[in-house]
Structure 1
Amino acid sequence: MVSPASTFLTIPGLALLVLGVNPIEGSSALSHASWTLGLRLYRALCSDGAQSTNALFSPVMLAGALGALGIGSRGHTAEQFQELLKTSGPQGGEALALKSMREGNGTAYTLHASTALFSKQAPGLDPVFLKEARGHYGLDHVPLGKDDKQDTDTITLWAAGAMAEAKVAQPSNVLQAQPGALLLASAVKFKGLWHRSFEEGQGDLRTFLGTKYTKIPMMHRAGIYRHYEDMENMLQVLEVDLKGGNMSMLLLLPFHVESLSRLDRLLSEELMAKWLERLTEQSIAISLPNVNLSSALYLQTQLAALGLKDAWDQKMADFSGLDAMKGQEALHLRDVLHWSSMELEEEDEQVEKPKLFYADHSFLLLVRDKASGALLLMGALDLAEGPGLHDEL
């Protein structure tokens, strides 16, 4: 069963999306291929409702990692990688997007992002492939041995180092595999700053109406924001700048308290592009939760459902482009493991008759790089951690 290894979040709910303020010149707002992968993978996660709670992932990081591994695939396996990533070849625009985001690191945000290929008793990986994958995508290679416990510790320590974290969720049951198994791992930590400070009341606990009703701290601010009300689909769309203008947060908030299933079904590239085009500046009084979201996911089931079928089968998988020994134990993909984390911190404007935007129920979230248009993060909040409510009726 593919499931989140862990999920931790202190947020009330909004349906939100984080993206660049402007699209790339001469392109549409959702031009980067990572949007297609992100939306498809998000829907696949949601199809297993119990497993999608508070999921967060990085479409551009996953696209880069899968694109790197796709360099070494051949035959039908290569075709499935290309179809999944919607490219005519194994190398798409993910490498350029990651390069762009790394160049912006340390300006208005901090980004830790790494990918690695762990190989289980497969000593003869082609050095030409490893050099190309590292050069284009930054994909490291970490060989593993025969001791599953030691190998699990190796992967966990790698993820913690990649995210500059003291501790991350430890993978379980992913290394009980035969020789020749490959584990593709990626880890991303994004830490941004709000463009302007919020007012945060001391002890101002408000109700969050998600899969459980809890009490959580909220922060408040009034100002001029880009906003749109979709009356047909019954939701508000709000864009809030992050510091530096490289990123902004787009919040998708249903009119009424409800599960995310209806909004999940609505999501499409066409509809999201329409929402972005119709945003206009308005006076808005907003109430938002503090954000600290992290997740660890196993994605084999979802990626197989999206068409990557042969890669997991020892007999069907064709990774002959990785095999320098030409005949070692059949190389195959055991799992795709993904860690992600997002934090927003604080680093006024007088408005008249503001419209109310009160986010107190489940939401979606995406983060897009302004320069490349790539989708850095996508996720959902169904459950906000906090003290539960007593029945007051």
Structure 2
Amino acid sequence: MKNRTRRRAWAVRMMGMILLAAPPAFSAATAPDRAAMVDGNTRLACDLYRRLRLGNEGRNLFFSPFSISTALAMTYAGAAGETERQMAAALHFTLPRQQLHPAFSALLDDLRSSEEYELAIANRLWGQKGYPFRKEFLAGIEARYRGGFEEVDYGNDAEGARGTINRWVEAETQGKIRDLLQKPDIKPLTRLVLTNAIYFKGNWSARFDSRDTVSGQFALEDGAAVSVPLMTQKGRFPYLREKDFEMLELPYAGGRLSMLVLLPNRGVTLDRVETLLSPEHLRSWRSGMEETDVRLFLPRFRTAARFELNAPLHSLGMKDAFDENRADFSGIMGKKDLYISKVIHKAFVDVNEEGTEAAAATAVVLNTKSIGLEVRFRADRPFVFAIVDRESESVLFLGRLMNPEEPES
């Protein structure tokens, strides 16, 4: 209890990693290491999806598992003891640290904008002015995640520090993520905020013609319906039909990134499809897709969501990290003065005739202790969708559309 008054606050935002003091030498990431890291991230994505939908029945969902995994990987790099063990199990980090961090770093370096699309990932650390963070910790962030360090004064101007961080997040996401941190999130006892921003904008490989967009009915789960604009086109797309659902892949220009749409068959609930989500199923489904002539109807929509992830992560077994008496983040400053007070995530997506624009952010706050024929794919009812990197199989964004007319949160 005597350490409670000395606990310090820390926050992390979307992507990045933190290395412990005096870590072992890091080797280059191997293909198996990257595959293991991506598999773990996808498992966390499915775990979080299942938990987030329980508290958001009947509502749209959208988040970036990639952002959350990398933000928490930064936090994990400063963990020790039982805190470290619990985080590794909850986050599905199966690799030793000297292999995990290079795997994240290699993927971050690989996932960059091309001539065909914009994909920007940025990291920054915001530390309390004059606070003695371990140099090895800061150097690890800089070396592996190009995460710059900037001093702010939480103790004397918490609101000013919050504004500085939020403006950076807004700029890095092209204005799509605003006010990531709200007033109660940053306090005078906050000592470190690690932020990551991810922004994606890509045109469809085969764009929809806005002149072909028609008004149609989108069936809600309660039996009601709303009138929405349905984008339409005819083309050849990777397609799969299963007993409970059909799945379509819409590539973005350049072919590396794509959107997967999982549409329940008529008479099958979205809940049934959601319970099937797993890394194994996603790999199996994608491997079984075949180029098929499709008449496609897809609603034009945009949605945004903000989540506090403390409860979902705690339910996954990451308990000590949130306990001011048990948390051990001694890799950050050499002693057990930090615990996570909040993990905050906010995401945005806009799907239209030209393509998709998406952005997300995550913050972890630590406080002082204290087939052959043409197929009609008509997405006129709730469905699951994901934006994925086809090369690494990383799930960059994951969500569901329950109601295209639902106001943005």
Query: For the Cα contact (< 8 Å) 2:122–2:198, is it kept in 1?
Result: yes
DSSP-derived class of the 1:171 partner: coil
Of 105, 117, 120, 1:109 maps to 117
Which residue in the other structure is 1:367 paired with? 387
DSSP-derived class of the 1:341 partner: strand
Of 214, 220, 240, 1:228 maps to 240
Amino acid at match of 1:213: A
Q: Does 1:132 align with 2:140?
A: yes
Which residue in the other structure is 1:245 paired with? 255
Q: What's the CA shift for 1:197?
A: 2.3
In structure 2, distance between residues paired with 1:241 and 1:121: 46
In structure 2, distance between residues paired with 1:25 and 1:321: 27
Which residue in the other structure is 1:161 paired with? 171
Query: For the Cα contact (< 8 Å) 1:177–1:334, is it kept in 2?
Result: no
Of 62, 65, 68, 1:59 maps to 65
Q: Residues 117 and 312 (structure 1 numbering): CA distance in 2 closer, same or farther, change over 3 Å? A: farther
| Superposed CA RMSD | 3.2
Amino acid at match of 2:189: P
Q: Residues 37 and 372 (structure 1 numbering): CA distance in 2 closer, same or farther, change over 3 Å? A: same
Q: Residues 301 and 177 (structure 1 numbering): CA distance in 2 closer, same or farther, change over 3 Å? A: farther
In structure 1, distance between residues paired with 2:119 and 2:70: 16
Give TM-score scaled by structure 1 length. 0.79
In structure 2, distance between residues paired with 1:148 and 1:138: 25
Gaps of 5+ in 2: 1-30, 355-371
Question: Mean alpha-carbon deviation: is it higher for 84-93 or for 221-230?
Answer: 84-93
Question: Mean alpha-carbon deviation: is it higher for 283-292 or for 182-191?
Answer: 182-191
In structure 1, distance between residues paired with 2:82 and 2:130: 22
Q: Does 1:298 align with 2:346?
A: no
Which residue in the other structure is 2:42 paired with? 35
DSSP-derived class of the 1:188 partner: strand
Query: For the Cα contact (< 8 Å) 1:71–1:321, is it kept in 2?
Result: yes
Q: Residues 265 and 113 (structure 1 numbering): CA distance in 2 closer, same or farther, change over 3 Å? A: same
Which residue in the other structure is 1:145 paired with? 154
Query: For the Cα contact (< 8 Å) 2:159–2:186, is it kept in 1?
Result: no
Which residue in the other structure is 1:10 paired with? none
In structure 1, distance between residues paired with 2:307 and 2:33: 35
Q: What's the CA shift for 1:272?
A: 2.0
In structure 1, distance between residues paired with 2:149 and 2:322: 19
In structure 2, distance between residues paired with 1:223 and 1:363: 21
In structure 2, distance between residues paired with 1:159 and 1:341: 13
Which residue in the other structure is 1:70 paired with? 76
Q: Residues 167 and 369 (structure 1 numbering): CA distance in 2 closer, same or farther, change over 3 Å? A: closer
Q: Does 1:341 align with 2:361?
A: no
Q: What's the CA shift for 1:208?
A: 1.7
**Which structure 2 residues correspond to residues 1-393 of structure 1 after superposition, within 5 A?**
32-50=39-57, 53-83=59-89, 84-90=91-97, 91-92=100-101, 93-102=103-112, 105-119=113-127, 123-142=131-150, 143-146=152-155, 147-165=157-175, 168-172=178-182, 174-175=184-185, 177=187, 179=189, 182-201=192-211, 204-210=214-220, 213-231=225-243, 234-256=244-266, 260-323=270-333, 326=335, 330-344=337-351, 354-385=374-405
In structure 1, distance between residues paired with 2:217 and 2:46: 29
Amino acid at match of 2:259: M
Q: What's the CA shift for 1:320?
A: 0.9
Cα deviation 1:92-120 (Å, max 9, x = unaligned): 42222121112xx0322112323444456
Q: Residues 204 and 180 (structure 1 numbering): CA distance in 2 closer, same or farther, change over 3 Å? A: closer
DSSP-derived class of the 1:99 partner: helix
In structure 2, distance between residues paired with 1:82 and 1:356: 43
Query: For the Cα contact (< 8 Å) 1:218–1:289, is it kept in 2?
Result: yes
DSSP-derived class of the 2:330 partner: coil
In structure 2, distance between residues paired with 1:49 and 1:183: 28
Amino acid at match of 1:145: Y
In structure 1, distance between residues paired with 2:380 and 2:80: 49
In structure 2, distance between residues paired with 1:379 and 1:263: 13
Query: For the Cα contact (< 8 Å) 1:186–1:337, is it kept in 2?
Result: no
Query: For the Cα contact (< 8 Å) 1:189–1:341, is it kept in 2?
Result: no
Q: What's the CA shift for 1:371?
A: 3.2
DSSP-derived class of the 2:248 partner: strand
Gaps of 5+ in 1: 1-23, 388-393
Query: For the Cα contact (< 8 Å) 1:253–1:363, is it kept in 2?
Result: yes
Q: Residues 167 and 175 (structure 1 numbering): CA distance in 2 closer, same or farther, change over 3 Å? A: closer
In structure 1, distance between residues paired with 2:143 and 2:33: 28
Q: What's the CA shift for 1:29?
A: 12
Cα deviation 1:223-264 (Å, max 9, x = unaligned): 222212112xx2111122221111122211011266532222
DSSP-derived class of the 1:372 partner: coil
DSSP-derived class of the 2:139 partner: helix
Query: For the Cα contact (< 8 Å) 2:162–2:183, is it kept in 1?
Result: no
Q: Residues 184 and 215 (structure 1 numbering): CA distance in 2 closer, same or farther, change over 3 Å? A: farther
In structure 2, distance between residues paired with 1:297 and 1:141: 26
Q: What's the CA shift for 1:159?
A: 1.6
Tell which has more relative contact order, 1 or 2 (C-alpha 8 A, sep 6+). 1
Give TM-score scaled by structure 2 length. 0.76
Which residue in the other structure is 2:368 paired with? none
Amino acid at match of 1:127: K
